[in-house]
Amino acid sequence: MSESEARRRLAVPLDVSSLGEARALVGALEGVPGWLKVGFELFGAAGPQALALAGESQRVFLDLKLHDIPNTVARAVAVATAQGVGMLTLHAAGGAAMLAAARDAAAEGAAAAGAERPLLVAVTVLTSLDAAALKEAGVPGGVGDQVARLVDLACSVGLDGVVASAQEAPAIRRRAGPDFTIVTPGIRGAADSADDQSRTATPGQAIRAGSDLLVMGRPIVRAPDPAVAAAAVVAEIEASLGAPAD
């Protein structure tokens, strides 16, 4: 596998609160990751300007975890598609009608703009949650059971993939097949703090488990040299591609 393939497997969140900070972080990353993720914090501060900035150098992953009535989500997806977003997240718990409305809006918006359709990935169980947290929320069964239910739902409406931890990735791959995209947050180096994440994995563990795209934030963003930190992750990904599962 090539280094460029490994770079395409890494997304770094621009988790800062101003466009100026985001511009500095994009420059500090020196184009190492293949994706730049724009989430609630930066999008709330700079909106479409943040998407334009990220899109100047890398593919844009818009992570707003849309979860609303079908019409509202469809309209939001259409706007994001027109902005040139390459991937965006929806909450699988929004249900089949919402997910299907998003799917149709993305396809129609891309056709109208003559652009590539963004990948739509459905959030299953947040990596900050564990079985106890799901039980508190009234979700029956464990994490694996809930992820399986939501993977089936995402597949049934033709979404491109899901967001899930590396712990669930092998089961998802068996369930959904080789072309289904598995996006995995909660990535941490072996010596990194888990912070507020409950289900973490190292880059190598996640790739060997079957994850396609890794989202690694604080250990890279807060590093003294983000480009060096990101390059080390890319090297670990490259070494793990094609390696047998743990």
Which residues does the annotation mark as catalytic? 65
Question: Do residues 61 and 12 lie in contact, with contact meaning Cβ atoms separated by under 8 Å?
Answer: no
For 190, the token pair is 């072996």
End-to-end CA gap in the chain = 19
**What does the alpha-carbon distance between residue 153 and residue 145 come to, in Å, rounded to a whole number?**
13
Taking each helix axis from N to C terminus, what angle separates 143-156 and 96-113, rounded to the nearest 10 degrees?
50
**What does the alpha-carbon distance between residue 38 and residue 194 come to, in Å, rounded to a whole number?**
21
**What does the alpha-carbon distance between residue 122 and residue 89 come to, in Å, rounded to a whole number?**
6
Task: Determine the distance from the C-alpha atom of residue 162 to the mean position of all C-alpha atoms in its chain, rounded to a whole number.
Answer: 8
For 164, the token pair is 């899930």
Strand partners, 38: 62
Name the nearest CA neighbour of 107 among 64, 78, 75.
78
